[in-house]
Structures are given as structure tokens and as C-alpha cells.
Chains A and B, each alone.
Chain A
Amino acid sequence: MYIYFPIAEISLNIFIVIGLGGFIGFLSGLFGVGGGFLMTPLLIFLGIPAPVAVATEANQIVASSVSGVIAHWRRKNVDFKMGAVLLFGGIVGSSLGVLLFALLEKIGQLDLVIKLSYVFFLSAIGILMLWESVRTYIRTRSSEFYRRKLHKHNWLHGLPFKMRFRRSKLYISALVPFLIAAFVGVLSAIMGVGGGFIMVPAMIYLLGMPTSVVIGTSLFQIIFVTANVTLLQSVQTQTVDFLLAGTLLFGAVIGAQIGTRFGGMLRGEQLRGMLALIVLLVSIKIGYDLIVMPSDLFSTEILK
């Protein structure tokens, strides 16, 4: 059964779209990630125009982050004060990102920038995760214990505008989370991702937040950033396909439930190692397409 998506202007088999949503939902439930960084490239592989894929995925992430944050909220794992600073930075960054998006589309280089960002960030994150999971695997084998400090102090702690974040047990400059969130916001708008895969490590390693509040707080701010992107893209580029987002969401909700149940059966470093391999595979595929000589050097696109 085919369904015509009015904004993407493409007709796709509805079961493929729901299946894709389900598959990414399954992975996101399994690994505890948003999945935007896998969904957007796969939508592009399906033939959906890159601008529509990016903007529509932002819309879908709003929904998955809302359902994710509710569980963390119940367990009081959200630092709302930190979240407020992050979302302020995220709104500024994502608004700039949407402007940049429109500019790149105008000069015909949007596809290239989207793909290059994916290759760069996916391969960097993939390699780091793979390295980390292999190291953990070896360490647990040799059963070596060591105690970590709450967090290390470095030059980031010497910046002005210091604020106290009680839930995160931190007293740091508000500039650091603001700037990180702004940077991730730009990527969020251009890549069609929530940005959790960059935000979470940044919160742990750069800000030194306790792991327990990191995911809840990151999800909390992602809701606002992706909502901002959805709204701005709707107004500026009209590339949000609400019907596509809804169909993907339907599959993703079910997939996430199955994924969460499977996730309990596997060990953390095994999960991260598998996710790292998937991430690397996607980045290699996108990178390969950029390097290999196209069969026709000319391409034609019908503008509206």
C-alpha cells in the first residue's frame, strides 16, 4: 500500500516507512539514543529530499523526546536549571542553524554540507564509542578497579557567570553549557538530529555532570530545540512533512518498546560496540558516495 507524502512529494510504501520507524525505534530503545542521526540518512537513502528529511526528522524527535523525558522526570533525573541554560543556548544555535540551512539551500550546497557533517560526526562518534566499549570490555575481563573523582577541574571552571546547579552538583560558568548547546543547536538544525549523541558526552566529560541526570536533562532540552527547528523550518522552508513524521512515529513508538525489552538482556559495552559499528557503517556509506565518481557528472532537479 502506497502513500503519497504531500511535502516530500514522493509516494512510498507505507509498510517500509513504518518499518523504518520501527527499526530506528528499536535501536533507540535498545541503545538509549534518539536515533535521528540514523533516521535522517536512511530517509535520504529512500529518496526523500534531504531538506525534507532533516526538517521532518526534527518534528519526529520532538515526540520521541517527550515520551523519553516523562520517564526520567518521574525518577527526578532532570536538572531543570541546567536544562534551561542549555535550551537557551540550543534555541539560539538552532535558529542560526535554520538560517544557515536556508542559505546553503539557496547556493545549492545543502546536500553536501549535510553529508559532510554526517561523515565527520558519525565517524568521530563511532570510533570513540568503539574504542570506549573495547576498553571497557578488556577492563572488565581483567577485573581492575579504580575510583574516579566526581569531576576534574580545568580552565573551563575559571570562566565568568558562575551558576550553581544543585541537581548536577556543579558550580560552573553558565557560558560553557550555553556555548555547547548553541553549537549542538546549529548541528541539530542542519543534520536533522536531536544532538544527544554529542550533548551527552559533552555533559559528562566537559561539564562533569553526574551520569544519572545527563540523559533526562539532554532529552528535556532536545524537546525545545527540535520544536524550535520544526517551527522555523515550517515557516522558512516549508519542508516539514507532518504526515511522514506521524507515520515514522507510529513505527518508532512500537519499535522502542521492543528495543527497551531487548536492551535489558545485553551488556552495556556490547550494546555500545554494536551501535558504534552501525554508526560507522552509515558514515562509510555516505562518505563513499561523496568520494566515488558519479556515473553522470550532471544532475537535474525540478525546483518549485
Chain B
Amino acid sequence: MIQWLWYTSLRHMKRYIGIQYPIGLTGALILYILCVPAIGYTQSNALVADLSLSNISINTDFNGTSVLLFGSVSGEAGDDIIVVISGPNSEIVTREKSKMTGIWVNSNSVKWKNAPSYYQIFTTRPLSQIATKSVLEELSVGAEFLDLRYDSEQALSPSSYLTWSKALHRNMQSASLWKINETSVQVMRGTLFRTQVSLPANITIGDYDVRIIHFRDGRFIAEDKTAIAVKKAGISAFIYKLAHEYSIFYGLFAVAFAVFAGWLAAAIFPKP
């Protein structure tokens, strides 16, 4: 029994430390003794966070998902945690409608070059109570501090830039893609924190940067980073890849399938 325990713990150590197996028991023990205090020391001042799921696969049964973000912080009671998740930068276009001969048509548009397709903030308390605007701006926490580049027929005046970027904010917020989730981070005993991150069904494929920031009395203390990778998988990925990389083959297959299905329907249900 004891031998088995040693054996399994060795296997785990091999995976974590990357040492060759087999290794002498004493060697492993010495390494273990050396490592434990070292890990303990680095953690004592730091902020460590992880996700319950860091690879999200979009298969045909995908309908949005929820990821648990958790971690520990060597904090005091009353400390704050802000989590900022920023999705892949996409080309996003904002269009303005105007009335022409009685109907509403898209007239002007602005193409955003580097706007995140997803931008959500999770906090322990309302943002304004955690830190001042200038502190948040310095740390670029908040969609209003994004440095948006655009591509428009004409350069926008400062006031019209404001109108367009406000429209972008409003539209992304109503699509629940940009959002501030205040008081959604729970801190337990000043050290353990957790929050539930929901990713809607219409999320963009790509890498999502996750920043976890520790605040105390309105001041920045520490920051940790992690990431979520969102990919299409299974049949869904296969169809998408086929459609984009082998589009002629995909088109021929779609037609052939339809002809076959139509023939099958006629064969199963003969017309009276």
C-alpha cells in the first residue's frame, strides 16, 4: 500500500517537475523537501488565479458556457479584485441609419480596426468605489479606455468620434458582449476569490485574455494573467473548415446531399 502511494506520487512529481523516471526515492524526497518551502514562499505575496476550463470547444451542441475563475490572494478584509476579460480583436463595423424616401437605410459607417469582440469586467464592488477613474485608466480597466483605431471615409472630428464610440459601446452592451458585472466576484476570508464567467453562444473564436487585478484602498497591489482559448471542435469545426478551405468541394457536396435527400423523400413518400 505504502509502496503504491510512493509510486503514484512519484508519477505525479515526474509530470510536474519533468524529471526522468525512474529516480531514487531519496532523490525525490530531497527534491520534494526543497520545493515545498520555495513554492510556499513565492505564493505568500502573490495573486494566483486559474480557470475551471481554459479550452472551450464549440461543437454542434454549444449554447454558450460558463467558466469558473478562482484563485487566492494574500489580502486583507476589504481588498478588491477586478477581473478583465478581453476577447479577440475583430473587425467590427458600426452603421448609422438615416431616413431616405421614407425608409431607414444604412448611410454612414465606421470600421473599428482593433475593438475586442468581448469585453467584460467582474468586480467585488462597484468600480467607482474600488478606484478612481485615473487609476483605472492607467491600468486600462474599462471599455471607455480602449484605444480604438478606426477606418472611415473621412477622419472623424473629436465630437463625432465620441458619438460613434458611444454607439459602439451601446450596441456591444445590448448584445451582452461588453458588460460590467459589479459585485460578481466573491472573496472568502480575504484570501480565496471566485467568479462565474459566462460566455454567450455567439462568441467569437480566438484567444481571450484574462487579467486579475488586486486593489487595496484604491491602489494597485498585484496582477495575474491567464487566458481562455475558444475553438470550433468536432463536426462544427469540420463543416466550418470544409466551407472555408475547400469551398468548391463543400458546395458540390451540399448540392449532392440535397439531390440525394430530395430523391430519398420522393422514394419514401410516393405522391398519391
Contact = CB atoms under 8 A, between A and B. Distances in A.
B91 A112 contact: no
* Most interface-central of B103, B168, B239 (chain A CB within 10 A): B103
Interface string A28-66: 000000000000000000000000000000011011111
Contacts of A261: 272
A67 B269 CA distance: 9
B240 A299 contact: no
22 contacts: A2-B63, A4-B236, A6-B243, A7-B240, A59-B255, A60-B258, A62-B258, A62-B262, A67-B265, A70-B266, A112-B105, A116-B103, A240-B243, A243-B60, A245-B254, A249-B261, A253-B269, A290-B103, A290-B104, A296-B170, A300-B93, A304-B90
Given A6-B232, A297-B98, A66 B93 contact: no
Interface string B232-258: 100111011001100110111111011
A291 interface: yes
Contacts of A7: 239-240, 243
A258 to B, nearest CB: 10
Find the residue from B175, B270, B271 having the highest chain A CB count within 10 A.
B271
B102 interface: yes
B101 to A, nearest CB: 11
Contacts of A66: 258-259, 261-263, 266
A4 B61 contact: yes
Nearest to A289: B104
Given A9-B202, A66-B263, 17 more contacts: A4-B60, A62-B258, A65-B262, A67-B265, A108-B95, A227-B255, A231-B251, A234-B250, A234-B251, A249-B258, A253-B261, A296-B167, A296-B174, A299-B94, A300-B168, A303-B91, A304-B91
Nearest to A108: B106
Interface string A100-121: 0000000011011000100000
Interface in A205-249: 223, 227, 230-235, 238, 240, 242-243, 245-246, 249
B251 A253 contact: no
A301 interface: yes
A71 interface: yes
B109 interface: yes
Interface in A231-275: 231-235, 238, 240, 242-243, 245-246, 249, 253, 256-257, 260-261
B59 interface: yes
B106 A253 contact: no
Contacts of B201: 2, 4, 10-11
Contacts of A150: none
A302 B258 contact: no
A109 B105 contact: yes
Contact of B271 (A59, A65, A71, A298): A71
Nearest to A239: B243
Interface residues of A, number: 60
A281 interface: no
A67 B95 contact: no
Nearest to A227: B255
A294 interface: yes
Contacts of B236: 4, 6
B131 interface: no
Contact of A243 (B102, B239, B244): B239
A166 to B, nearest CB: 25
Interface of A: 1-7, 9-11, 59-60, 62-68, 70-71, 108-109, 111-112, 116, 223, 227, 230-235, 238, 240, 242-243, 245-246, 249, 253, 256-257, 260-261, 290-294, 296-304
Given A4-B63, A240-B254, A299-B97, A257 B269 contact: yes
B58 interface: yes
B167 A6 contact: no
A63 B204 contact: no
B171 interface: yes
B172 interface: yes
B64 interface: yes
Contact of B106 (A62, A112, A232): A112
A246 B257 CA distance: 9
B102 to A, nearest CB: 6
B86 to A, nearest CB: 14
B265 A234 contact: no
A302 B254 contact: no
